[in-house]
Amino acid sequence: MDGYTNKIAWVDLGKGKISIQETDAEMKRQYIGGRGFGAHIISSRMGPRIDPRDLANLITFMTGPTTGTGIPLGNRYEVCTKSPLNGTLMSANSGGVFGWKMKKAGFDGVVVSGKAKKPSYLYLDNGKAEIRDAADYWGKTTYETTDRLKEDLGDKKARVLCIGPAGENKDLLACVINDRDRAAGRGGSGAVMGAKNLKVIVATGDMPIKPANPERLDAVKERVRTKIQENGICDALHLYGTSVLVNIINENGILPSRNFQDCNFPNPENVSGERMRETILKKERGCYACIVKCSRVCEVEGETNEGPEYEGVWGFGPNLGIDDLPLITQANWLCNKLGLDNIGTAGSIACAMEMREKGYISEGPTFGDGTGLLELVNQIGHREGFGAELTDGSYRFAVKYGHPEFSMSVKMQDLPAYDPRGLQGHGLAYATSVRGGDHVYGYMISPEILGTPEKLDPYATEGKALWVKIFQDLTASIDASGLCLFTSFALNADDYADIMSATTGTEISAADLLKIGERIWNVQKLFNLAVGYTKADDTLPDRLLTEPLQDGAPKGRVWERQPLLDEYYAERGWDNEGVPTPEKLKELGLGEPGIMHAHT
């Protein structure tokens, strides 16, 4: 064995047929798994110009070779599809237990095409796959669906991936939820499942997951475990969760407030990880094989669930001018129940708040007022009332009312919780992300703020293009491997290469790993070019380019698009318009830059 189950289920919902095929050996070599498998399958089998909610769109659910092997933090799976939110070849990563259980069910992944005639779910168990009736679960929240399905199946060990009402309504902010509180959050993948009448994937079984060289992997495990346990960032994540970042980001003057109008939120400590631990935290929890355990199990008004994470705390907190941590927690839980991307949902509400503040709309929420917040989130998930205006994201809402400048988004996807005016490298990662506004495709917070693997001046531009490229490529390969990105706080490319070599039995160097990540990045880029994205889209909202910050250490700064963008294109081996050159594509074993334009 080589870490793979070597089986992929190809599901045609329209025909009601499933074909179980061998995992292609060349695909493993070129793309590893996870995000790599999904990007390759979609780009090679589907035209980029189809409507994402058309039955011809593919959606993939892929693990990596390390998923379920017992390597610390080896638990991830990846959802890939053409995004209904912005048309990119997107991926969304999630942890929990589902990825491990999909491999225990006997599958490296699932590829879904077509549309079922009625609500359906996919059942995976010990190498077998079935399409089953989901009528009894349609209309239910993700919590209700998960709990009821496990009860109906009489299988407490089964793991459930599903959509909520937002996905059923094909909301562009709809995401995929697994294990009740884990989200493959960005890009609208839940709407693709809804458009296909696919409510659920259930995974159960006890098939073996065997690495190629168990003895070598055990030795690597011990080294990796020690490095993670001795890492200060990982220790802080265990103690305070991802919301440990609230005070850190605020102290650096880059915690966006009131729809990125400023970074001067008056009470950040009220929504910090430290305050969460003092007040509503019940216990820490981790994904399968996790030794960090950054997830927070919290209790509010007698209800106990996982979350919230830093992005959600910021989104429903400082970005809305709210410092009520219990309310923020409930808003995040409601997003999970409805199957909504919490970053996009909160960003859309912040956009509406500013437009009302400026007098461009006469109804809707206002900054600092949490009254009605939960009802508004509920409306967004059900496409009702004023919430129906926001359910497809801030960009479409702002354009509808003639003011796209109030959408704090890149490629129509709302930005996360770091102001790039004080982060030149991170701003470049935002602008060039191949799935739109994003922080985890190239987490430059690590060197620019946290000082790992070394501390960089966040205001400097020199050398940042190369740093961004390396982070983006390494992240793509980590997403492909099945490992959690948080391992990158403690591990380096050589560690990942050792993990992959021991798991797969194929010797992989650090350079090989980065090349695979670069290949994945370019595949997504080529798809997006064929969709119609250009250099003009590799940018940030005008506010971040022209309105300097007024407070804190970054006072007076904006994000400097040039020469960062041109240097980035040069580092990537792309031309001046951001198109991969024939020489670069040949080096990566890919086709000509215009090859996808022929597909329709």
Q: Looking at the predicted structure, is the pLDDT value of residue 88 above 50?
A: yes
Strand order in 89-94's β-sheet?
Answer: 17-22, 7-12, 109-113, 59-63, 77-82, 89-94
Quote the domain boundaries for residue 519.
420-489+509-598
**Of 414, 442, 472, which residue is a domain's last?**
414
Tokens of 564: 């960062």
Q: Looking at the predicted structure, is the pLDDT value of residue 492 above 50?
A: yes
DSSP track, 289-300: T-SS--EEEEEE
The 10s digit of each residue's pLDDT in 276-294 is: 999 999 999 999 999 999 9
Pair 407, 451 in one domain: no
**Of 414, 441, 468, which residue is a domain's last?**
414
pLDDT grade, residue 600 (50/70/90)?
Answer: very low
Q: What is the mean pLDDT of residues 454-478?
A: 98
DSSP track, 464-495: HHHHHHHHHHHHHHHHHHTB-GGGGGT--HHH
Pair 81, 161 in one domain: yes
Asked if 177 contacts 339 with a C-beta cutoff of 8 angstroms, the reply is yes
Pair 436, 303 in one domain: no
CA 521 – CA 575 distance, rounded (Å): 16
Query: For residue 9, which of 22, 25, 26 has the smallest C-alpha distance?
Result: 22
| Whether pTM exceeds 0.95 | yes
Pair 341, 468 in one domain: no
Pair 449, 526 in one domain: yes
CA 382 – CA 491 distance, rounded (Å): 42
116 within a domain of the structure (yes/no): yes
Beta-strand pair 295-300/281-285: antiparallel
Query: φ and ψ at 571, to 5 degrees?
Result: -65, -30
The CATH number for 107's domain is 3.60.9.10
224 within a domain of the structure (yes/no): no
Contacts of 26 (CB under 8 A, 6+ apart): none
Asked if 465 contacts 570 with a C-beta cutoff of 8 angstroms, the reply is yes
Q: Looking at the predicted structure, is the pLDDT value of residue 212 above 60?
A: yes
Pair 431, 460 in one domain: yes
Q: Looking at the predicted structure, is the pLDDT value of residue 595 above 70?
A: no
Query: For residue 347, which of 300, 297, 391 has the smallest C-alpha distance?
Result: 391
Contacts of 418 (CB under 8 A, 6+ apart): 249, 254, 256, 426, 439, 445
443 within a domain of the structure (yes/no): yes
Q: Looking at the predicted structure, is the pLDDT value of residue 598 above 80?
A: no
586 within a domain of the structure (yes/no): yes
The pLDDT of residue 592 is 60
Sign for the pseudo-dihedral over CA of 503, 505, 509, 514: negative
Q: Cα 194–436–26 angle (5° rounding)? A: 75
Report the percent of the chain where pLDDT is more than 70. 98
Query: For residue 382, which of 156, 133, 194 has the smallest C-alpha distance?
Result: 194
564 within a domain of the structure (yes/no): yes
CA 261 – CA 544 distance, rounded (Å): 9
**Of 386, 414, 442, which residue is a domain's last?**
414
Q: How many structural domains comprise the chain?
A: 3
The pLDDT of residue 599 is 34
Pair 12, 26 in one domain: yes
Q: Alpha-carbon Rg of the chain, whole angstroms?
A: 22
Pair 112, 259 in one domain: no
Sign for the pseudo-dihedral over CA of 64, 67, 70, 75: positive
Report the percent of the chain where pLDDT is more than 90. 98
- Range list of H helices, 16-141: 25-31, 34-45, 98-104
The 10s digit of each residue's pLDDT in 221-230 is: 999 999 999 9
Pair 105, 253 in one domain: no
The 10s digit of each residue's pLDDT in 16-74 is: 999 999 999 999 999 999 999 999 999 999 999 999 999 999 999 999 999 999 999 99
Q: What is the mean pLDDT of residues 473-486?
A: 98
Contacts of 127 (CB under 8 A, 6+ apart): 7, 20, 105, 106, 107, 205, 207
DSSP track, 429-461: HHHH-TTSS-STTS-THIIIII--SS---TT--
The CATH number for 436's domain is 1.10.599.10
Pair 359, 291 in one domain: yes
The pLDDT of residue 1 is 75
CA 390 – CA 345 distance, rounded (Å): 8
465 within a domain of the structure (yes/no): yes
2 within a domain of the structure (yes/no): no
Tell me the one-letter amino acid at 103: K
The pLDDT of residue 117 is 97
Asked if 387 contacts 169 with a C-beta cutoff of 8 angstroms, the reply is no
CA 439 – CA 256 distance, rounded (Å): 14
Tokens of 548: 């300097």
Pair 195, 326 in one domain: no
89 within a domain of the structure (yes/no): yes
Pair 315, 185 in one domain: no
The 10s digit of each residue's pLDDT in 371-389 is: 999 999 999 999 999 999 9
The 10s digit of each residue's pLDDT in 296-346 is: 999 999 999 999 999 999 999 999 999 999 999 999 999 999 999 999 999
